[in-house]
Amino acid sequence: MREKIEQLLSEIENLAAKREQEIEEIRIKLLGKKGTITQLFDEFRNVLPEQKRELGQVLNTLKVAAVNKIEQLREMLDESMESEAPGFDLTKPGDLMETGSRHPISVTRREILSIFSKYGYEVSEGPEIEDDWHVFGALNFPPEHPARDMQDTFFITEGENPVILRTHTSSVQVRAMEKMPLPIRIVCPGRVFRNEAISARAHCIFHQVEGLYIDKNVSFADLKQAVLLFAREMFGENAQIRLRPSYFPFTEPSAEVDVSCNICGGKGCNICKGTGWLEIMGCGMVDPNVLEANGIDSKVYSGFAFGMGVERIAMLKWQVKDLRHYFENDLRFLKQFETVV
């Protein structure tokens, strides 16, 4: 009997199977009701008492070896099937991936910068957290100017030169005048902050693009031509502009720029409130006091500056009536710009 058990152990070690049916046949042959190992256990009852202990241990070892071998064959079969079968159907059409798109503010900002870059303007950026000097002092804002009040500006620190969140990107122009060699021709994009109630036409955060050109013999005619070229690039070659007198502490003379309504062609509609014109930016000749405050001789150099709200341009371009849509990340709104590049 012992020789028979050892022979079976040797045979079990060399067993192999390629199909589940073959494994099941091996199990029945060894462990079934009429299996070889089952019959050995039946014969074990007739073994002499002094041999039972030794043969019992060997017989149990044989049964464990058979069970382990069958489990091993099943695991090997599963692994081979997984390696042979592809993880996915190669003939199945691919899933359509949902593509993203640029935010309308990013699209408008990039278009504005692209227009001015064609005319030789460099892009210049600066910090959003600024000091009072670069935001107000160097730009000819008097100490009593309402923009310096806490109800209009977000203050971070107090003191003679408090740290604030910039209210316009003109602070970048100041830094450019301090460090850049003349002549200067830059556009300054960026995010700005004002302490305003959020509504359909106002927000505490918005984006600006401002421009600055300083050189010898720069005139108001140069400013008008630059603004006209921009308007026609942005709103179409038939766009017209008009300049209305205005006031800004850092420019003199100053003007507000209107562009002919691209919706009604200047005839008057609900978008332009029947006037045929849409306000797009403020501009003016750089005040000599600003030039002098930044170390530039105002008797030799002159220049012009302009500034526009990116949201304002985007509202006019895409005919969006509520400024809050740009900040709410509502997919129903943003999906309308998927085809815009």
- Give the model's pLDDT for residue 149: 72
- 122, 185, 186, 228 from 113: Cα distances, Å: 9, 13, 10, 15
Which residue in the block uniquely carries the two structure tokens 């630059």? Answer: 226
First vs last C-alpha separation in the chain: 85
Statement: residue 217 has pLDDT above 60: yes
- Give the model's pLDDT for residue 87: 62
- Give the model's pLDDT for residue 150: 63
- Give the model's pLDDT for residue 274: 81
On whether the CB atoms of residues 323 and 311 are closer than 8 A, the answer is: yes
- Give the model's pLDDT for residue 17: 82
Domains of the chain: 2-84 (no CATH), 104-337 (3.30.930.10)
Using CB atoms within 10 A of its CB, is residue 271 exposed (0-12), middle (13-18) or buried (19+)? middle
Q: Work out the mean pLDDT of the chain and round it to a whole number.
A: 87
- Give the model's pLDDT for residue 151: 65
Given 3-state DSSP classes, what are the helix, strand and coil percentages for the chain, each rounded to the nearest 5? Answer: 45, 20, 40
Statement: residue 85 has pLDDT above 60: no
Report the C-alpha gap between 303 and 170 in whole angstroms: 14
